[in-house]
Structure 1
Amino acid sequence: MNETASEPRPRRRRWLRWTLAGLGTVIVLLVVGILIYSQVGVMGPEPDPLAEAEANPGLSIVDDGAGIVLSPTAGATGQGLVFIPGAKVQAEGYIATFADTVVDDGVTVVITRPWLNLAFFDPRPLSTFTDLAPAVSTWAVGGHSLGGVRACQLASDADALVLFASYCANDLSASGIPVLSLSGSEDGLSTPQKIADAKGELPADATFVEIPGASHASFGAYGPQAGDGTPTADPAEVDRVIAEQLAGFLPRR
C-alpha cells in the first residue's frame, strides 16, 4: 500500500523535470534567436558622407563606447541632443546627418550605441549619455524609427523630445514636454499614416514637419533599407531641413 501511494511522486518529479527542461530550451532558443537577429543585416555608414563629416574641421567626433559625442570645435551653445539609432543601424550611420547641426548651430549630439543594436534591449537611463557631455545645460532626447519609440520612454528626463521618422507607443499627451516630429513623405516604414495615427500620444501643441521627398533611410546615411519608399529629396537637403528645424526648436537656458 505504501509502495502504491508513492508511485505518483516519481511521475510528478519526471513531469516537472521535463517541463523545466522544455522551458529552459525555449529560453535558450529565444536568446540565441535574438542574438542572431541583432547581428544579421546590421547597416553601417555610407563611406563618402562619413569621410566628409570626419574631415570637417568644425566637428569633433569622440567615441566613448556608450555613444559617439559630436561637438563643435567652436561656438557651443550649451544645447544637446541624445539621439538613439534605429534598429540594427550603427551609430556611425548618423554622424553625417548631424554635422550641420553641430558645426553650424553649436549643438552637441550624443549618438548612443544601443545594446544588441536594438533600442528596446537597452535599459540605460538618459544620464548615461548626458554625462558624456557635462558642459551641456539643456537636453533633448530623440531617435530614429525604433530609437524614437525608446526616446519617448526617456522623455520625462529630458527638456524636449524629437522624433525622426518615428512615433510614441506610450502616452505623453499630458506630459507638457515640447515635441518636434520630423517625418518623410516617401517613408515606407514609419508611413505618414502611422505618424498621423499615433498623434494622440503626443501633446496637442506638438510640432509636425513632413519633409517632401524624404524616405525612412533619409534620416541617416547608411544606404537604402528594405521596405522603405523611394526618396526623391537630395540627402544634403534633408540634412539641411533637419538642422534648420532643430535650430528653431531645441530649448536653451
Structure 2
Amino acid sequence: MDSTAKSALHSTAAVIVKEERSATLFQPNKRTNTGLIFYPGGKVEYQAYAPLMQDFAKKGIYCVLVKMPLNLAVFDVNAADSYIQTTKNISNWYIGGHSLGGAMAAKYADQHPKNLKGLLLLGAYSTQDLTDTNLSCLAIYGSHDHIMNHGHWHKYRHDLPENTVVKIIKGGNHSQFGSYGLQNKDGLQNKDGKATISPAKQQHETVEEAIKLMHIAN
C-alpha cells in the first residue's frame, strides 16, 4: 500500500478506525444501520483499500475491510459470516470486493443471499448464478482497465440479477480502486492501463454510485 492508504488508517472526526486481527473497521461517527464487508483483490495488501473505506464511512456506511490469508480471498470466502452475526447494530449488509475479491464476494452472496441486501463488484464479475436472488447489484469498472478479463465479464454478465447497474468510470483503471499503484508487490498488475483521472476521483465516483444502491442520502 502507498502513503495515501497509510494515512487513511488513522481515525478522524468523522470516522473511527479500528484494527482487529482479521479486519480493519471503519465506523462512521454517527448512527447507521448499513454496513459493507469488503474483500480485497488478489495478492493486494488489504489495507490498500483504506482510502476507499474511509470515503464510504464518511457517507455513513460501516465498513469491514477483511484481511485474507495470503492476501487471497479464495482462502476465506465465508469471512463475512462472523461480522454479520456479531455486529448487532447493522441490519442492512452489503458485500463487495475488487477483482478476485469481488468474485469471492459474489460466491458468498450466492451461498448466503438472505444475509445480504446487495453486492458491489469493482473490476470484477460473478461466475455464480445470482439471477434468482433478490440482491441489488452494482458492477463498476474503469474504461482503462487492462487487467479484468472483459471476455469473461460479458460471458458471465447474464448471471447477475436483472436489476444490476453497470457503471464504467471514464478514465479509471483496475488498480485505482485501491491505493497500491500499478504494480503491487508481486508485480501482477503492472500491465494495467494508465488512468487519466486520479485515484481519489475514481474512488469518489465509486462511492457515489454505491450509496445510490444502498439508498443512503447523499
Is the pair's TM-score, using the shorter chain for normalization, greater than 0.5? Answer: yes
Counterpart mapping for 1:170-185 below 5 A:
170-185=128-143
Counterpart mapping for 1:32-181 below 5 A:
45-52=1-8, 54=10, 56-73=12-29, 75-103=30-58, 105-131=59-85, 133-155=87-109, 156=113, 157-181=115-139
Asked if 1 retains the 8 angstrom alpha-carbon contact of 2:103 and 2:127, the reply is yes
Q: CA deviation at 1:96?
A: 0.6
Q: Distance in 2 between matches of 1:148 and 1:76?
A: 27
Aligned match of 2:208? 244
Asked if 2 retains the 8 angstrom alpha-carbon contact of 1:69 and 1:132, the reply is no
Name whichever of 112-121 and 55-64 sits farther off. 55-64
Q: Distance in 2 between matches of 1:70 and 1:97?
A: 10
Asked if 2 retains the 8 angstrom alpha-carbon contact of 1:98 and 1:243, the reply is no
Name whichever of 92-101 and 55-64 sits farther off. 55-64
Aligned pair count reads 206
Deviations 1:116-150 (A, max 9, x none): 21111114352223346332111001110000111
TM-score for both structures, normalised by structure 1:
0.76
Aligned match of 1:28? none
Task: Read off the aligned partner of 1:65 and give its amino acid letter.
Answer: R
State, as a whole percentage, how many aligned pairs show the same letter.
27
Q: CA deviation at 1:93?
A: 0.3
Which structure shows the higher helix fraction? 1
Q: Distance in 2 between matches of 1:124 and 1:83?
A: 12
Deviations 1:17-73 (A, max 9, x none): xxxxxxxxxxxxxxxxxxxxxxxxxxxx11134315526321211111111111112
Q: Distance in 2 between matches of 1:99 and 1:182?
A: 18
Q: Distance in 1 between matches of 2:13 and 2:90?
A: 21
Larger radius of gyration: 1
Distance 1:233 1:177, change over 3 A: same
Name whichever of 226-235 and 208-217 sits farther off. 226-235
Instruction: List structure 1 runs of 4+ shifted beyond 6 angstroms.
Output: none
Aligned match of 2:146? 188
Q: Distance in 1 between matches of 2:104 and 2:8?
A: 29
- Please provide the CA RMSD for this pair: 1.8
Asked if 1 retains the 8 angstrom alpha-carbon contact of 2:8 and 2:54, the reply is no
User: Unpaired runs of 5+ in structure 1?
Assistant: 1-44
